[in-house]
Amino acid sequence: MKISYQCSNCGAHEQTSAGVGIPEGMFYLGYRAHGDVLYCPDCVETWKERNGAEYDEQYKDAQHLFSVWWNRQVQMQITDKSKIRTYSRNYVGDFVEAEA
């Protein structure tokens, strides 16, 4: 099962699977999100130029905010809710995935 996402700043559009490890990988690659908006690594890199401070300085607990965004995407985009599984992780947050 695929999750589609788009950077709220530059409009870059991508897809990924809704599997275990994907949200952690995206976060560590530099993706950031809060509410319903996602920012790609390139736009996070230039965040300070546009907003006066680094993203992670402006938004505390960026990992939790990203996990909330990810879970919302899985819940909205996976139509067969019986395929959704929840995994708890310390520190990073709780992520959900969908079976293929």
Q: What is the DSSP string of the chain?
A: -EEEEE-TTT--EEEEE--TTHHHHHHHHT-EEETTEEE-HHHHHTHHHHHSS-HHHHSSSHHHHHHHHHHHHHHHH-S-GGGEEEE--TTT--EEEE--
* pTM, rounded to two decimals: 0.82
Encode the chain (100 residues) as per-residue pLDDT tens digits: 889 999 999 999 999 988 878 888 999 999 999 999 999 999 999 999 999 999 999 998 898 899 889 989 988 998 887 877 766 554 455 566 666 5
Domain boundaries, the chain: 2-98
